[in-house]
Structure 1
Amino acid sequence: MWKRKMLQTQRGVFEIFQKGVGKPLCVAHLYAVFNETGDYFADTFSKRFYVTLINIRGVGESEQAHEPYEYSMVDSVLDIEAIRVALGYERWIYAGHSTGGMIGLLYALLHQSSLESLVIVGSAARDYTESSACIYNEKHPKFAEMQQYQFALTQPNVTAIDKEQLKKKRIQLSLFEPEKYTQYFTGNICKDMSGVRLDFFSREAVLFDITRKLKQINIPTNICCGRYDVQCPVEYSKEIHQEIPQSQLFIFENSNHYPFLEEKDLFQKVIVQALN
């Protein structure tokens, strides 16, 4: 289990969860709601790093948003930086999966001196739904099915049992081998998502594009992506790698959106080599 802590910062009180040993490493996501059971992605790092898993503004018991703009990516980065300062870390590693990776890239642009390095997994530096290879693009063959699950999960009257089944079906759309779902997701970790933050992100993503700024990132950046990622297609990881001078790109040939689970041993090997 992760150790829960309420942390006072200059930007309010935030709920964080910590676990592991070693150098400090931060994990965050734009609309995930974490708890003491942790997170599959964050657990990838906890054997070699001291991981801080953050419930950002408006999520869990963290500081609430008083204005809509406080759900933005920029404000999220400012909150994460305030958490680093409150924890007393001079620098730390940031690791982000999916929208967590988008925050990481923006973090590096706004507060590069606070970061030792970056790990960006299955992510993008701009609106990834523009690609027809993305399951959130209307031209994708599984678009309607994904939308059905996303909508159902945000309904207030959905039962706990139905929610778990909907989550399973939604996640299976983003697995290279969907039949291995129970092998990857053991059920020990239970997290949720914030409908309010997801809605805000859906609108903000249309305007998000920091590709022209990526050349300003001058810290070691490790980019990972599944060859068959349907959420943030591999073309976006290639684009990030092309723009960031000190970057490495690792493409996982038998993975979709979750290479840290689908090719767990290889992912661990890549991370150890990249960060040690």
Structure 2
Amino acid sequence: MVWEHMMVSTSRGEFEVFAKGTGEPVCVTHLYSEFNETGDYFADTFTETHRVYLVNLREAGNSAKAHYPYELGMLESVFDLEAVRTGLGVEQWGFAGHSTGGMLGIVYGIYFSSHLRFLVVVGAAAREYITFSEDCIYNAEHPHFSRMQELIENLKSTEATEQQKQEWKIERTKLSLTSPNNYEHYFSNQVIKKMSAIRMNFFNRELQLFDLTRKLKLITTPTLIMCGRQDVKCPLLYSQEMAELIPRAQLAVFDNSNHYPFLEEKTKFHQTYKDYIEELA
């Protein structure tokens, strides 16, 4: 079943949204991914129990363009999500974010907790996670740092073929799996995503000053934080930190996972999430 496509008119422009599932509404997005009707592996996790709205942020897919660079920032992106929520006629929804989507979720929780039923934050951080963590693959001391940087730059190319980009994307993902040989098993569905280069470039600048740790106490939304013990993108210590500083947050650690616990330990991940949601009922 493909995702339902819609264009949502808001006070901040038109945004491209894909919907799937039934039940309580949940918003899912990523800071620089471009989604389409094939959906998203992370978002698919929630479609069994919820009506999921997968949102293309500004400058991603067919969503509104940015008139000024600051409109690509995390806070402005949260304002856009609030406009989408209003445009959909949803009074309150959950938010689930993986990686930079989880970082965006933290910003969302700080400023609009009353509009969120719950937060699910997976493999993320509330502050810049590269400089002081040699376990992070984006740190120059990490053994796979150079290759990861090459792959990221390659994916921004406007001259490379789609086949080349797909090969680079697969290699990049394998660097963030505990068992790279299981890639084909984990990513067996026909999900096709692109990357918004302009959004990723802005994020790389914004990240250098990113630190919301002192504001985490302002999050009143029920929050579930999940992370793979071997996560090389946003190492576990950053999830532990968020769990300690967000009031009443719960932390679930997946011992046999890297950056994709929702695929690497799919059954356990889904059950952990389901149990948490049932506790909130």
Q: Distance in 2 between matches of 1:194 and 1:261?
A: 23
Counterpart of 2:238 in structure 1 is 236
Counterpart of 1:35 in structure 2 is 36
- For residue 230 of structure 1, what is the amino acid of its counterpart? V
Q: Distance in 1 between matches of 2:29 and 2:108?
A: 11
TM-score, normalisation: structure 2: 0.97
- For residue 178 of structure 1, what is the amino acid of its counterpart? P
Aligned length: 276
Q: Distance in 1 between matches of 2:13 and 2:92?
A: 21
Matched, 1:73 2:74: yes
Counterpart of 2:207 in structure 1 is 205
Counterpart of 1:192 in structure 2 is 194
Show structure 1 runs of 5+ residues with no match: none
- For residue 151 of structure 1, what is the amino acid of its counterpart? E
Counterpart of 2:180 in structure 1 is 178
Q: Distance in 2 between matches of 1:228 and 1:79?
A: 33
Deviates more, 1:48-57 or 1:183-192: 183-192
Q: Distance in 2 between matches of 1:67 and 1:41?
A: 30
Q: Distance in 2 between matches of 1:84 and 1:187?
A: 28
Q: Secondary structure at the match of 1:132?
A: coil
Instruction: Tell me, yes or no, if the aligned pair for 1:219 and 1:246 is still in contact at 8 Å.
Output: no
Matched, 1:273 2:275: yes
Q: Distance in 1 between matches of 2:75 and 2:233?
A: 22
After superposing on structure 2, the runs of 4+ consecutive aligned residues of structure 1 that deviate more than 2 Å are none
Q: How does 1:92-241 map to 2 (within 5 A)?
A: 92-130=93-131, 131-241=133-243
Matched, 1:12 2:13: yes
Instruction: Tell me, yes or no, if the aligned pair for 1:228 and 1:255 is still in contact at 8 Å.
Output: yes
Counterpart of 2:26 in structure 1 is 25
Q: Secondary structure at the match of 1:206?
A: helix
- For residue 220 of structure 2, what is the amino acid of its counterpart? N
Counterpart of 1:51 in structure 2 is 52
The Cα offsets for residues 75-113 of structure 1, whole Å up to 9 and x where unpaired, read as 000000111111111111000000000110100111111
Match among 256, 259, 273 for residue 258 of structure 2: 256
1:187 to 1:161, Cα distance in 2 relative to 1, 3 A = farther
RMSD: 0.7
